[in-house]
Chain A
Amino acid sequence: MTVSLTYPHLGIGLGLRKEHYQSILDEPPQIDWFEAITENYLVPGGKPLHFLEQVRARYSVVLHGVSLSVGGTDPLDWDYLRQVKALVERIEPAWISDHLCFTGAGGINAHDLLPLPYTGEAVRHVARRIRQVQDFLGRRILIENVSSYLSYRSSEMSEWAFLGAVAEEADCLILLDINNIYVSARNHGFDPLEYLAGVPAERVQQHHLAGHQDYGDHVIDTHDHPVPDPVWRLYEAAVQRFGPVSCMIERDADIPPLEVLMEEVERMREIAEGAQAAAHV
């Protein structure tokens, strides 16, 4: 008997942004779920929590954190984790996620997703901390691969081997960001298909799709453009590799009206459903 590690499949989702709160409530779109940025709702009250609860009353919601710093070397921030836990109890998300990175050191938060060296030491360090977080929150969390612009001389393995090793040793799940794979592949010159092939499929719970800025000799993960063709193609390959995985679009700047993003959501749904149909032949 095989026991699934993952949470139930949610379908096609979208990142929840304040610019869309009112449109979502006025005319609830054909979306299966929303992903909310955890930190935006770690506030005492007012509009953010009001709208999140309104959205949650109509949709499944997952929480996506940006400052756990699970790869960091400062002690885990238990005050932050207590706040996350309280939000989890209030919103009852389908799952929660954060990033495989560090976000600061020495008590300073850089508010950025900074890359880790891919070493055995880092695998053990990060996995131990993920386990502590999971014990505290009482559930498996998802960790996301980040876009990176540099790699370290000290790295001993590929990024995908590192991601897989951390997920196995921590017994956590993976949020595989397709755009981040594309961006990092361009910046470091690896084959994104090799990345997909190297990720433990049974732990992949969610995908992100997003746009970026292409500077020719490097690519920056800006989330300010529609999802570009190479990322759609890589998503098709991911669907081939992983089957139906809950997937959503992240848009963080130059945010268009909801109906414009819905065109991308529909394209994502077609690709996901095409693969599902193919899987059933």
Chain B
Amino acid sequence: MSELAALQGRFMRWLLQGDPELAADVADDGRLPLQTRLEVYRNAYGLRLAEALADSYPAVHTLLGDARFDALARSYIEAHPSTYRSIRWFGDRLAAYLAERAPWCEQPILAEMAAFEWALRDAFDAADAAPLARADLAALPPQAWAGLRLDFHPSVQRLDLQWNTVQLWQAIDDGREPVAPERGPYPVGWVIWRRELRTWFRSLEVDEAWALDRMRAGAPFAEVCAGLVEWIDEAYVPERAAALMARWLIDGKVIGAHA
């Protein structure tokens, strides 16, 4: 290994682990304590990454408060240092981290909130794509419908949330007093997406969540219709399926259709 590579390795070990070996490389000119010089870099490293997390997860920050969020940030930074060129992607594993690690996993709404905030962030700068107009689909011949598959906007994200996470997020986002976390009787499906420059989200009924997941996985329309009998009488399936499709088109979630 070159001298330069060895030095840079020592610098990183100082930043990441506080390994003091780097001190021997640093010139002591008597102007400023050597330890102060080293600390400037280590403090800046932790602060910058903690700020990036706070920026990506403002509601998790509010729920935890400054001191506990800071403890979380320090722990996460140590567990998952950044491997990305852009700091925008740092923090991508926070939801999983909160779900697994004590003490945060004892408050399950934290992991859900992190997943929701990261989904918002992904929708915010996902690729652009023009939504399909309803007229484009209306022009399809009737025999094409059974094999119809849809392409969805790159911003579309799906989450199933057990807690009143979104309600809580909205209160925090509006600057209101957060409502108390409450666990629902069953998980509720949510969809998050962007239309032009605006991010949207809404809850899904259980059959819509299933249908959307299947269509996003590439299933043909006929298969999804057949599956809907799980929730509704066969006689009403065509009407329900058409209504769901119309809704997705109006939302701007669909960008292509092919047989």
The reply to whether B36 and A44 contact each other, CB–CB distance below 8 Å, is no
Residue of A nearest to B6 (CB): A73
Q: Roughly how many angstroms separate A80 CA and B129 CA in the complex, as a whole number?
A: 23
Interface residues of B in 65-106 (CB under 8 A from A): 81-88, 90
**Contact partner, B124, options A47, A104, A218, Cβ 8 Å:** A47
Residue of B nearest to A114 (CB): B11
The reply to whether B27 and A217 contact each other, CB–CB distance below 8 Å, is no
A153-B25 CB under 8 A given contacts A44-B125, A67-B85: yes
1/0 contact trace for B1-37 toward A, CB 8 Å? 0111101110110011000000001110101101011
Q: Roughly how many angstroms separate A258 CA and B129 CA in the complex, as a whole number?
A: 32
Q: Which one of A117-125, A174-182, A233-241 contacts B?
A: A117-125
Instruction: Report chain A residues within 8 Å CB of B8.
Output: 72-73, 102, 105, 114
1/0 contact trace for B118-149 toward A, CB 8 Å? 00000011111100000000000000000000
Q: Roughly how many angstroms separate A123 CA and B146 CA in the complex, as a whole number?
A: 66
The reply to whether A152 and B154 contact each other, CB–CB distance below 8 Å, is no
Instruction: Report chain B residues within 8 Å CB of A44.
Output: 125-128, 154
The reply to whether B85 and A80 contact each other, CB–CB distance below 8 Å, is yes
Residue of A nearest to B22 (CB): A150
Instruction: Report chain B residues within 8 Å CB of A122.
Output: 4
The reply to whether B127 and A45 contact each other, CB–CB distance below 8 Å, is yes
Binding site for B on A (CB under 8 A): 39-40, 42-50, 67, 72-73, 77, 80, 102, 104-112, 114, 116-117, 119, 121-122, 125, 149-155, 187-189, 217-218, 220
In the complex, besides A46-B124, A152-B27, A154-B25, 11 extra interface pairs with C-beta distance below 8 angstroms are: A39-B86, A43-B86, A44-B127, A44-B154, A67-B86, A108-B12, A114-B11, A151-B27, A154-B7, A187-B32, A188-B29
Closest 7 CB pairs of A and B: A45-B128, A44-B127, A73-B5, A43-B125, A46-B125, A150-B37, A39-B86
Would you give 13 A-B contacts (Cβ < 8 Å), ordered by A? A42-B86, A46-B125, A46-B126, A50-B197, A105-B5, A107-B83, A110-B45, A112-B48, A116-B4, A152-B27, A188-B29, A218-B32, A220-B40
